[in-house]
Amino acid sequence: MRKKLIAGNWKMNNNVEESLKLVEALISSKLKEDVDVLICPPFTSLYPVIRELKNSSIKTGAQNVHYEDKGAYTGEVSPLMLKSLGVEYVIIGHSERRQYFGETDLIINKKVKACLRHGLKPILCVGETLDQREAGLEKETVRNQLIKDLDGVTDGSGLVIAYEPVWAIGTGKTATSTQANEMSSYIREVLADIFTAHIAENMKIQYGGSVNASNAKEILDQPHIDGALVGGASLKADEFIKIINY
């Protein structure tokens, strides 16, 4: 049985004070015990959030990473730096990184390998645009992303995959639970081809795309969906808690 992983991606929101206030609300609440909770603050809040969560079961992740360990890469943060802070997970290949910052599958592949090299768990995001879905290319698109992003990765046991249809990110639209489950099932088939059926069966596949308190249960009850990558709704403590306690 795969344990659910519910992650809050705060994106470029919350200063340190706001971050700690949100964390305190989570710590003081009764959260479902059979769910792993993860929060991914901006870099500026990572260290204070990790300190605040020192005695909590809530895990922390980063929203991005560079693929080199150190060097002349102005403005970047290395996997070693994140590891030294106590970060456990890193979101890689989010559609906003692909769209706004020109991240290619080659770059994403390097980042995945860098994380695995240092014992960080990548949350690899894949998903199709609305045009690709309407053209019937959603499976081909996702398969190609997985093959390129995981090229040369020999063990997927430290990986999480997040299926995020690009047309559902921050739009208020969401894939139906059936669509999300079907794609998650297909992703597991592709992972079995890339790794082994045993590894694929034990890998977590999240859904991301306008997840909120009202649709979380229907999505998370699907057999091939092992969690959620939550955006805007994770910025409101009461709503995020409802998602966790679905």
In a domain, 136, yes or no: yes
- 94 among known catalytic residues: yes
Per the domain annotation, does 245 fall within a domain?
no
In a domain, 146, yes or no: yes
Answer whether residue 230 is part of any domain.
Answer: yes
Catalytic residue, from 94, 128, 138, 239: name it.
Answer: 94
pLDDT for 58: 98
Please tell me the predicted confidence (pLDDT) of residue 36. 98
**Token pair for 70:** 């150190």
164 is a catalytic site residue: yes
Average pLDDT for runs of 10 along the chain of length 246: 96 98 97 97 98 97 99 98 98 97 98 98 97 95 99 96 91 86 98 97 96 96 97 97 98
Question: Which position among 52, 96, 103, 164 bears the catalytic label?
Answer: 164
> Is the Cβ–Cβ distance between 124 and 160 less than 8 Å?
yes
Look at residue 243 and tell me if it is in a domain.
no
User: Which residues does residue 4 pair with via DSSP β-bridges, in sequence order?
Assistant: 35
Considering Cα of 15, then 13, then 23, then 53, what sign does the dihedral take?
negative
**Residue 181 within any structural domain of the chain:** yes
Domain extent for 113: 4-236
Cβ-in-10-Å burial (0-12, 13-18, 19+) of 108 comes to buried
Residue 126 is assigned to a structural domain of this protein = yes
Backbone angles phi, psi at 205, to 5 degrees: -125, 115
**Lookup: tokens for 234:** 């994770």
Look at the block and give the residue holding tokens 């879905």. 133
In three-state form (DSSP H/G/I as H, E/B as E, the rest C), the secondary structure along 232-243 is HHHHCHHHHHHH
Classify residue 241: in a domain, yes or no: no
Q: Domain with 22 in it: what CATH number?
A: 3.20.20.70
Strands 160-163 and 121-126: parallel
Tally of domains within the chain: 1
